[in-house]
Amino acid sequence: MKTPRSPYEKVGGLVFLGRTIDKIRYKAEGVLREDFHELMGKGFDARIMSYLELNYDEFAEFVLSGASDEQCATYCSGKGRRPNDDLILIWNDFACKRGCRDSASARLEDFKKQSNLSHRADVTTIFEFMEVDENRKP
């Protein structure tokens, strides 16, 4: 079973977008790690779609048409909000810091507990959690 790419990897300048694309592709291929299925189209997937003013199901359909990462980025800026450098900076900074002393802190602690990572005081954001949970170095 596969895990999606790091949330820090950028597609179209945006963090997390590539991860959403991977989850869509991997689920369709039947190789996505089972614990990812429940939050598909929710959480960060929903948040980035909302930020880009896109419909998740329509985006997923486009991804599954065989579109490359570059084509997916073009789709996002053509069908939804066309983020300028400031909007990209705002999204990237928000997403990378999510869970660190904000409204998602309790959710982060729940994730850590479910993955037996409660002892990891160094994991202070949701992105860091994803990295550690998926055996990458944050």
pLDDT of residue 137: 86
CA dihedral 25, 78, 55, 134 (to 10 degrees): 40
Tokens 């994730």 label which residue? 111
Reduced to 3 states (helix: H, G, I; strand: E, B; else coil), residue 53 is: coil
Q: Select from 90, 75, 88, 138 the least CA-distant residue to 112.
A: 138
Is 0.75 topped by the overall pTM? yes
List Cβ neighbours of 49 (8 Å cut-off, separation of 6 or more).
20, 41, 55, 56, 59
Quick one: pLDDT at residue 138? 77
Q: What percent of the chain has pLDDT over 90?
A: 99
Averaged pLDDT score across all residues of the chain: 97
User: What is residue 7's predicted lDDT score, i.e. its pLDDT?
Assistant: 98
Q: What is the mean pLDDT of residues 67-77?
A: 97
Q: Which residue has the higher pLDDT, 103 or 137?
A: 103
Predicted confidence band at 12 (pLDDT cuts at 50, 70, 90)?
very high
Residue among 42, 82, 88, 79 at smallest CA distance from 58: 79
DSSP type of residue 102: S
pLDDT computed for residue 15 by the predictor:
98
Exposed / middle / buried, residue 40 (Cβ in 10 Å: 0-12, 13-18, 19+): middle
**CA pair distance 38, 52, nearest whole angstrom:** 22
Reply yes or no on whether the pLDDT at 49 is more than 80.
yes
The residue-averaged pLDDT of 90-115 equals: 97
Residue 97 pLDDT exceeds 80? yes
Give the pLDDT mean for 80-89: 96
